[in-house]
Amino acid sequence: MDKHTFFTRSIAIMVFIALMMGLFGYSLYDFQIVHGAEALAMSDKKIASSDTVDSSRGEITDRYGRVLVTNSLCYNVTLDQLSMGGYQDQNKQILSLVNLCANKGVAYTDELPLSQEAPYDSVLSGETASQQKIFTSYLADRKINANGSGTALLSVLRTEYGIDPGYSDGDARKIAGIRYELDLRTRNIVNTAYVFAGNVNIDFITVLKETGYSGVRIETSTIRKYTTPYAAQLLGWVGQMNQDEWNAYKSKGYSMNALIGKDGVEKAFESYLHGSGGIRIVDSNTSGKVVDETYAVKPEPGDNVTLTLDLGLQESLETALDNYMKQKNKNHGAGAVIIDVHSGGVLAMASYPTYDLSTFSSNYSKLANQSPSPLFNRVTQGVYPPGSTFKMVTAVGGLQEGIITPSTRVLDTGRYAYYKDYQPMCWLYREYHRTHGWVNVSKALEVSCNVFFYDVGRRLTIQLLDKYASEFGLGQHTGIELPESVGALAGPENSKKIGQDWNEGTVLSAAIGQSDNSFTPLQLANYVATLVNGGTRYSVHVLQSVKSYDYSSIVYQHQNKVLNSIQISPQNLSAVKEGMLAVTQTGTAAAMFKGFPIKVGAKTGSAQVGENSDSNAVFVCFAPYDDPQIAMAFVAEKGGAGYELAQVARNVLDYYFGTPDTSSQIETENSLLP
């Protein structure tokens, strides 16, 4: 390189460096000298906080992909105490907000357990034991004496929250309620936001914006949207956590404002549906205005849950049960369930009375006080004597143990005279003073002859009777993912547990489904399924699969689980099934199934629940007879004769098999639906 070229390039580099230094110096001068005061003011006023952002819950669909529960966009009003100024400013704003809510008809969160009006000492009607515990702990932490009148306690809270003496007691109570909520969320937790009001409308938001409250934010969120009025007790509902739930969920990354499943499927599959929350960094000024937001961790939506439920069948079942109960003018509860014989999957589950999840929140107080309660799932938690529907257990036990054969006949003389001091009558003799004469096991099931089953039960003994009942899943957990009652098996052990004496002759009533036998409708359905599939008891389930939030991958796929197997010889099973078929052909349910093109096996029952009360109506069935696919169980509290419930079963079977009585046709799983 010659000297001239070197000199030229050196000059160019020095000029470039000089320009860059000058530009840098000017920028520093402009930022620190010209706009220094503004930058300092901004740094003094800028407040950074972190919030946990809840994820959108996954959808819930039926077995064919029909959406049962999804989400819709909503707006929540949250309060950030750090941005609301001093105590007096906070109190003034809070009272204004509460009054605005009253004028606009907007509900807000206030769980301070003092009534809204004098004398302020009643516990709020919706208060839970957990909320009471929180309040007691809150007062203890602050060494506040909770003894005395509500007015005296409110006076203490006035001092605690710096509420001006000029405010009336009514206004002070309003302020104290919100200050209490704010304090709960600033004790030992990072998140300071508090959802003051949820799912507010645009009109309310507009007024908030125009008024310019500090520390008040409008945030987008999602709420559950129910696309069907059916399966309410099965699907369940979501709500905000109480303190006990918060203690359990906070280690899983939940914010205190998070909605969680409270009942049904929403609760059972919370871990799939909830997703994972995110962390948002919020920069705001002292007036509470957000100037910047960034995500340190982005929230991820929950997974989508597919149930074994068939929505069309569910609608058919609920409609048929509702029509029956109203037609009979029965102001009592009822339950019905349909399960897949070869998997234990629940196809439909109806508990009467029911409710609409879309209006659950606004109607909760009414629903909670209604009798019979619509919030109680009678299929999984109601326990009922099975009555004569239990007789297949006695029959199988007697056949398998060699006590009887399919051709063994017993003479019904009207009374069972084995014991001198206890000779119970057959129902036919008691009601019509007639007898069934000589009957074998199939005929005994058809006509429900008590004397036949008294004799078989006595010879079988209560120990073997309970053994077979347990193997059929009666008095046992079904395996369903929802809360369930276990019920009870009659016998010496249960009698001792409830403080009663067990007598040898009590086995007679136990053998026909009376005594202390009590089971859920779900147990009855699975017992029938186990019987007609040849003796395999599957774990009952409502979860079919779980898919990722975008439906692109399978997170979980149910695999059938066998709980136990019962040895039933083909000839013995055939004898029992023939008796159940005869019930719908020539027996007690024949009138209901006359002309029905599908063969159905069934058993009716009327279970006495008290000496002076009506009997519960019980009905179980399976279909088709030659190749069983589904098993069903129905119970109507104080419903009388079990055969009347056969009409409900017939209506549902019309839908399932697409018979001429209905325009609907059964869909094939994974088929495209209109």
Which residue numbers in the chain have pLDDT < 70?
Answer: 1-10, 12, 25-54, 121-134, 145-149, 186-193, 277-297, 608-613, 659-674
Residues 418, 416: Cα–Cα separation, whole Å: 6
* pLDDT at residue 50 in the model: 60
Which residues in 366-383 are b (16+ Cβ under 10 Å) and which e?
ebeeeebebbebbbbbbb
**Of 111, 285, 127, 290, which Cα lies nearest the Cα of 196?**
111
In a domain, 416, yes or no: yes
* pLDDT at residue 49 in the model: 60
Which domain-ending residue is among 273, 291, 307? 307
Cis peptide bond upstream of 483, omega within 30: no
Residues 497 and 643 both lie in one domain: yes
In a domain, 589, yes or no: yes
In a domain, 14, yes or no: no
Mean per-residue pLDDT of the chain: 85
Residues 529 and 555 both lie in one domain: yes
Residues 518 and 612 both lie in one domain: yes
* pLDDT at residue 22 in the model: 72
Residues 279 and 203 both lie in one domain: yes
In a domain, 367, yes or no: no
* pLDDT at residue 284 in the model: 62
Q: Write the pLDDT tens digit of every residue in 22-44.
A: 777 666 666 566 655 555 554 44
- Locate 418 and state its tokens: 């084995």
**Of 358, 359, 301, which Cα lies nearest the Cα of 59?**
301
User: Which H helix or E strand runs over 9?
Assistant: helix 3-29
Any residues with CB less than 8 A from the CB of 668 and at least 6 apart, and which?
A: none
In a domain, 627, yes or no: yes
* pLDDT at residue 69 in the model: 96
Which domain-ending residue is among 271, 292, 307? 307
Residues 302 and 400 both lie in one domain: no
3-state secondary structure of 96: helix
Residues 74 and 139 both lie in one domain: yes
* pLDDT at residue 110 in the model: 83
Residue type, 379: V
Number of domains in the chain: 2
Please give the residue range of the domain that contains residue 301.
49-307
Residues 578 and 646 both lie in one domain: yes
* pLDDT at residue 189 in the model: 43
pTM score, whole prediction:
0.81
Residues 246 and 334 both lie in one domain: no
- Locate 407 and state its tokens: 């051709």
Residues 287 and 326 both lie in one domain: no
In a domain, 22, yes or no: no
Residues 259 and 340 both lie in one domain: no
In a domain, 28, yes or no: no
Any residues with CB less than 8 A from the CB of 196 and at least 6 apart, and which?
A: 77, 78, 79, 97, 108, 109, 178, 181, 216
- Which CATH number is 112's domain given? 3.90.1310.10
Residues 471 and 347 both lie in one domain: yes
- Which CATH number is 392's domain given? 3.40.710.10
In a domain, 23, yes or no: no
Residues 581 and 648 both lie in one domain: yes
* pLDDT at residue 475 in the model: 96
- How far is the CA of 22 from the CAs of 28, 29, 615, in angstroms? 10, 10, 99
DSSP, residue by residue, 161-193: TT--TTS-HHHHHHHHHHHHHHHHHTSS-S--E
**Of 546, 68, 541, 482, which Cα lies nearest the Cα of 271?**
546
Q: Write the pLDDT tens digit of every residue in 580-625.
A: 999 999 998 999 999 999 999 999 998 766 554 578 899 999 999 9
User: Which H helix or E strand runs over 368?
Assistant: helix 360-369
